[in-house]
A and B are shown apart, each in its own frame.
Chain A
Amino acid sequence: MTKLSPSELQEIAKKVRRDIVEMIYKAGSGHPGGSLSSVEIMVALYFGIMEDADHFFLSNGHVCPALYAVMAEKGLIDKNLLSTYTEIGSTLQGHPERTKLKGIENTSGPLGLGLAQAAGYAAIKKDTFVFCETSDAEHDEGNHWEAVMFAAKYKLNNLIQIIDRNRIQIEGTVEEIMPLGNLIGRYKSFNWNVIEIDGHNFNEIFEAVERAKKEIKYPTVIVANTVFGRNVSFMEGNPNWHAKAPNELEYKKAMEELK
């Protein structure tokens, strides 16, 4: 894969953020906060990490505007499709569907289910790397922890989970709604290889994935600390923007900030 420079990647990330805001504004619904926080993770995966044989499972499917926009930038889907997000008949569903859009590995949206599917895939396809983005809040779900145990038991060193650790969920901060405690310590106690990074720093994402690929015994979790609503000042860290479309004024302000 041709390596892009950090400034080139940042340029792509900026375009993706503009696409996200525009899609959600046009649709009148969507999840801007988590979409904006996961941009660098997905740009890094699609533009600097994943080889043809690799796979990406998105567990927190509500951030699909980020995935759709990254796929469009990458040329995997037609860019004109983006404006049809959530429209009746569109392949870009409000939550991504495997049978509707080529390139989507798993239908998702209901939380806590993605890591298990990624783990199942990784257990069979040992010769490929399987990446899975999850959210911190979906760690509330029991199903997620069942997969955490399975992946460690079967030593799925080809499974690389990246947690978009934006610390916000629907009704408040993760600390308020359901504290996750020592998340890193919890993964360590489950026998996972744990790496903590700044989830908006491309070099840190690349380095972490390189280390994960060298892990010979255990699955890896990369805890990517991110900012909810990243780069739109009035969305940053504000739970009100979990599932809300900007109005016209907010849209214009956001696009101005993302120039």
Chain B
Amino acid sequence: MKSTRDGFGEALVELGSTNPDVVVLTADLADSTRVKDFADKFPDRFFQVGVAEQGLVTIAAGMAEAGKIPFTTSYAVFSPGRTWEQIKVTAALNDVPVKIVGAHAGFGASMYGATHESLEDIALMRIIPNMIVVSPCDYEEAKKATVAVANNGKPSYIRLARQDSPILTKPDGKFGIGKANILYEGKNPQVVIVGTGPVLSEALEAARELEENGIGAIVINLHTIKPIDEQTLVHWAKIAGAVVTVEEHQIMGGMGSAVAEVLSRNFPVPMEFIGVKDLFGESSRDYNELWKKFGLKKENIIEAVKKVITRKNI
């Protein structure tokens, strides 16, 4: 069990050694967004802007125009939450490689309540032209995503979680921006479960339990939400004939919506969506209680799978 933010922080230190153009900016959250090690090791390439997210992103855009690769960190509710227009104009429309790192996404900041729980950031970022949107599912993938994003030359968003979560991918496994990975391949699949982020651990458990009960499932790790891997999604939708999407985010506008946009154009199949149903989050001393309350657990996924399979025959 390790967190995606830890993977990001460790990869960033390595990048600091290998790429002198990488600079890091934070809005009074170096420690919890895991850039403190970078700051200690490369003090000349680290900028503390204070609690000023709008400045964080726009200052970074200026640095990017000057040839740097700036990683900006805050909690996702603040950036990209508060910084949306700044990102749209000064990073994306300007087409400079500003990296927006949104930490504590999903229900990670559970103890702090709705104001600090980011359930909208995927939608906010994927709707902007020219943005790359990456949502790693574990520590290992976060490391790879950080390196890939540093080298892609594009404005990019990385979504990170606060909590430690199971390692679902292998250190030597392939990772390419825009190329989805198959996390689980059941026999005679009757459903495709498409997930993103650490909540994929629930999808994986659901797939295993379904398999034991005679229902084959494919689990796709959609770590890149934009550009979306149409080919992989359509390929498996054709084979299985039904799709369930799983994300720690609002259903509206999120990863599932992106999948639906692809399938409805190419190969429409019955779909069910696991995510937050147009509700605000709330405080809890344990994020897992919120996963239960908002229906993001294995049981909810299994139920959705059974439902979507029955809809095939209608």
Say whether B116 contacts A94, CB under 8 Å.
Answer: yes
Say whether B51 contacts A61, CB under 8 Å.
Answer: no
- Residues of A within 8 Å of B114, CB to CB, are 93, 95, 97, 107
Q: Mark B27-40, 1 if CB is under 8 A from A, else 0.
A: 11111000000000
The reply to whether the CB of A185 lies closer than 8 angstroms to some CB of chain B is no
Q: Tell me, in angstroms, the Cα distance from A93 to B290 when the chains sit together.
A: 14
- Residues of A within 8 Å of B81, CB to CB, are 110
Say whether A137 contacts B28, CB under 8 Å.
Answer: yes
Of the listed stretches A34-42, A169-177, A228-236, chain B binds A169-177
Closest to B39 in A: A171
Measured CB to CB, the closest approach of chain B to A27, in angstroms, equals 6
Q: Tell me, in angstroms, the Cα distance from A169 to B30 when the chains sit together.
A: 12
Say whether A86 contacts B115, CB under 8 Å.
Answer: no
Place the interface of chain B in its size category: 20 to 34
Q: Mark B102-123, 1 if CB is under 8 A from A, else 0.
A: 0000000101111110000000
**Total A-B residue contacts, Cβ distance less than 8 Å:** 100
Say whether B283 contacts A112, CB under 8 Å.
Answer: no
- Residues of B within 8 Å of A94, CB to CB, are 109, 111-113, 116, 283
Closest to A113 in B: B82
Q: Tell me, in angstroms, the Cα distance from A111 to B77 when the chains sit together.
A: 11
Closest to A176 in B: B48
Q: Indicate which residue in B31, B82, B284, B285 contacts A110 across the interface (CB closer than 8 Å).
A: B82
- Residues of A within 8 Å of B289, CB to CB, are 88
Q: Tell me, in angstroms, the Cα distance from A169 to B49 when the chains sit together.
A: 13
The reply to whether the CB of B54 lies closer than 8 angstroms to some CB of chain A is yes
Of the listed stretches A11-19, A114-122, A138-146, A206-214, chain B binds A138-146
Measured CB to CB, the closest approach of chain A to B134, in angstroms, equals 24
The reply to whether the CB of A103 lies closer than 8 angstroms to some CB of chain B is no
Q: Tell me, in angstroms, the Cα distance from A58 to B58 when the chains sit together.
A: 28
- Residues of B within 8 Å of A87, CB to CB, are 283-285
A30, A95, A142, A169, most chain B CB atoms within 10 A = A95
Given A137-B28, A178-B52, check contact A110 B290 (CB 8 Å). Answer: no
Residues of chain B whose beta carbon lies under 8 Å from any beta carbon of chain A: 27-31, 48-55, 77-78, 81-82, 109, 111-116, 282-286, 289-290, 293
Q: Pull 24 A–B residue pairs with CB atoms less than 8 Å apart, ordered by A.
A: A61-B115, A86-B113, A87-B284, A87-B285, A88-B282, A88-B283, A88-B284, A88-B285, A88-B290, A90-B283, A93-B114, A94-B113, A94-B116, A94-B283, A97-B114, A110-B78, A137-B28, A137-B50, A137-B51, A140-B52, A141-B54, A170-B29, A171-B30, A177-B48
